[in-house]
């Protein structure tokens, strides 16, 4: 039942390489910036519980479904779905959800790169600060030691007010991402993941230990793991679902595309389990890394998207060796963002290479260039275009600027719709024997996975989605 070789003949050099790349795709700004932000805004424990349920019941079965589609189709997200549909004797129109997944990746990267640009800016600020601290003879000083803590948050407003800097950072991040993808699967994506991911994990553990020893660890634990159900609403559950899908990189081409480079010998089910486990583990550890520090200096956990960029630098200001730890913290986020952005770009590039029969280098620079241009609009919506409401005619998006409109359109609408179609396709339309062989699952485990993907995932996604979009129904 082997499909034709991947169109480009490219593939991972080992199972470990695939796992590192896929975990790199999953672990990103979603885990370290968005998850703590949402958990903080939505009251902690209850959100975390719903989030973990979404991961286990929907995210994990979806990861396996997508990787299997990719490995069977051995192509990009669109053509791989078409191949599975053909081999299952069902309509090739199912390829549409693969296509929407590619669109999702395209849209996500437009704003993802802007946020990653902020991260790069903070890497710069913190590096300068640490060098200054070393030269003044106190390498273990707090971050931005000479500054008044009240003015530290203005670093971010300064950045937003400085168009050349804002666009410069976005440009730099896109150029690095495109350069890696242009180098190819083994020499670019795999190599980047092999260096960046292990370093990322070491930094994560070190900074979490630092927070545990110097911050309010017990308070963070109880905030993240004691649920207060009065905080739950359909909108919060939809947020948790959208975040679970976003964080696992499902419904957005990346996993199908990476699955296309996996060898036939790799056993997919345990591999999917490892990806889900690593991604969730990192999100929770990120919470345990950030909240003890935030609590230690009495900052607001519900600060929103600025939590990481405005609140944490104040915390690092007040903590021992904050200058050094602050730098390591932003380097860690940068590594996570980079391995994710290359997976987003690869999801689109792999499709365009095949669709238009272009070479990899040309496609990467062209596709990346178009994403870069739309990203400029996202960046400017923090500045001169802050009043533009691109989807203002839709009630749900009335008050959203370009950046937020794209983010919400993807995470609240397109991701759930794509996830729903993927689950229905794999659960109901794809050939059962083909699917079973690809997953490598046997007996009860196969039955359980199939129940989740055929029944639970589509029903849960549809219900959560309908209640969140039409809150008046209940």
Q: Which residues bind ligand PHE (CB under 6 A)?
A: 25-26, 28-31, 105, 108, 246-247, 249, 252, 254, 340, 343-344
Instruction: Identify the residue whose tokens are 């640009």.
Output: 117
Contact between 351 and 253 (Cβ < 8 Å): yes
Complex with ligand PHE: residue 28 or 260, whichever CB lies closer: 28
DSSP state of 288: H
User: What is the CB-side half-sphere exposure of residue 318 using CA atoms within 13 A?
Assistant: 17
Length of the chain: 474
CB of 29 to ligand PHE, least distance (A): 4
Residue number with CB closer to ligand PHE (127 or 306):
306
> Nearer to ligand PHE by C-beta: 110 or 249?
249
- The CA distance from 101 to 279, in Å, is 20
Find all residues with CB under 8 Å of 207, minimum gap 6, and list them: 289, 325, 328, 329, 332
Q: Rounded to the nearest 10 degrees, how much is the dihedral formed by the CA atoms of 142, 143, 147, 148?
A: -70
Report in angstroms the alpha-carbon separations of 4 from 73, 348, 427.
8, 20, 24
Nearest-approach distance from CB 158 to ligand PHE, in angstroms: 25
Q: How far is the CB of 279 from ligand PHE (least distance, A)?
A: 7
C-alpha separations of 112 from 20, 159, 258, 380, 465 in Å: 20, 16, 19, 14, 23
Which CB, 109 or 325, lies closer to ligand PHE? 109
- Rounded Cα distance, 84 and 245, in Å: 22
Residue 390 CB, nearest distance to ligand PHE (Å)?
21
Minimum distance, C-beta of residue 412 to ligand PHE, in the bound complex (Å): 14
Q: Which is nearer to ligand PHE, 144 or 278 (CB)?
A: 278
Of the pair 156, 419, the CB lying nearest ligand PHE is at: 419
Nearest CB to ligand PHE, comparing residues 296 and 338: 338
Residue partners of 21: CB distance under 8 A and separation at least 6: 12, 189, 190, 193, 258, 339, 343
Q: Least distance to ligand PHE from the beta carbon of 336, Å?
A: 7
Q: Which two tokens stand for residue 201?
A: 């994990």
- C-alpha closest to that of 413 among 250, 232, 238, 247: 238
Question: Least distance in Å: CB of 31 to ligand PHE?
Answer: 5
Residue from 414, 467, 31 nearest 237 by CA? 467
Least Å from the CB of residue 350 to ligand PHE: 13
Token code pair at residue 36: 């703590």
> In the complex with ligand PHE, which residue's Cβ is closer, 130 or 245?
245
């Amino acid at each position: 039942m082997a499909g034709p070789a991947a169109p480009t003949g490219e593939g991972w050099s080992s199972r470990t390489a695939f796992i590192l790349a896929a975990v790199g795709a999953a672990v990103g700004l979603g885990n370290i910036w968005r998850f703590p932000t949402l958990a903080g805004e939505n009251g902690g424990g209850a959100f975390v519980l719903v989030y973990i349920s979404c991961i286990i019941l929907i995210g994990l079965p979806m990861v396996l479904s997508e990787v299997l589609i990719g490995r069977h189709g051995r192509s990009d997200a669109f053509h791989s779905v078409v191949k599975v549909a053909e081999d299952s004797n069902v309509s090739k129109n199912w390829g549409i959800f693969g296509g929407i997944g590619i669109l999702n990746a395209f849209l996500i990267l437009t704003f993802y790169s802007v946020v990653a640009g902020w991260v790069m800016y903070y890497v710069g600020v913190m590096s300068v600060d640490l060098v200054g601290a070393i030269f003044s003879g106190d390498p273990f000083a707090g971050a931005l030691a000479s500054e008044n803590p009240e003015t530290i948050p203005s670093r971010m407003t300064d950045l937003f007010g400085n168009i050349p800097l804002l666009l410069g950072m976005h440009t730099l991040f896109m150029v690095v991402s495109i350069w890696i993808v242009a180098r190819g699967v083994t020499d670019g994506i795999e190599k980047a993941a092999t260096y960046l991911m292990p370093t990322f994990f070491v930094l994560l553990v070190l900074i979490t230990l630092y927070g545990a020893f110097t911050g309010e660890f017990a308070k963070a634990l109880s905030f993240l793991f004691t649920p207060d159900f009065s905080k739950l609403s359909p909108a919060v559950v939809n947020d948790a679902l959208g975040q679970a899908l976003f964080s696992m990189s499902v419904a957005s081409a990346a996993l199908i595309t990476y699955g296309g480079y996996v060898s036939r010998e790799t056993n997919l089910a345990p591999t999917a389990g490892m990806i889900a486990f690593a991604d969730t583990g990192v999100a929770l550890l990120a919470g345990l890394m950030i909240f003890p520090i935030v609590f230690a200096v009495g900052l607001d956990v519900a600060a929103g998207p600025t939590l990481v960029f405005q609140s944490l630098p104040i915390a690092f200001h007040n903590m021992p060796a904050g200058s050094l730890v602050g730098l390591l913290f932003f380097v860690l986020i940068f590594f996570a963002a980079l391995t994710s952005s290359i997976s987003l770009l690869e999801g689109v590039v792999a499709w365009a290479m095949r669709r238009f029969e272009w070479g990899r280098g040309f496609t990467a620079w062209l596709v990346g260039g178009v994403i870069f241009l739309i990203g400029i609009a996202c960046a400017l919506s923090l500045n001169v275009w802050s009043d533009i409401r691109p989807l203002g005619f839709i009630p749900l998006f009335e008050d959203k600027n370009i950046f937020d409109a794209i983010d919400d359109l993807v995470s609240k609408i397109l991701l759930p719709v794509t996830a729903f179609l993927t689950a229905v396709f794999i659960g109901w339309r794809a050939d059962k024997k083909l699917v079973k062989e690809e997953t490598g699952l046997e007996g009860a485990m196969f039955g359980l996975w199939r129940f989740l993907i055929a029944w639970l995932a589509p029903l849960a996604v549809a219900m959560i989605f309908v209640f969140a979009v039409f809150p008046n129904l209940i």
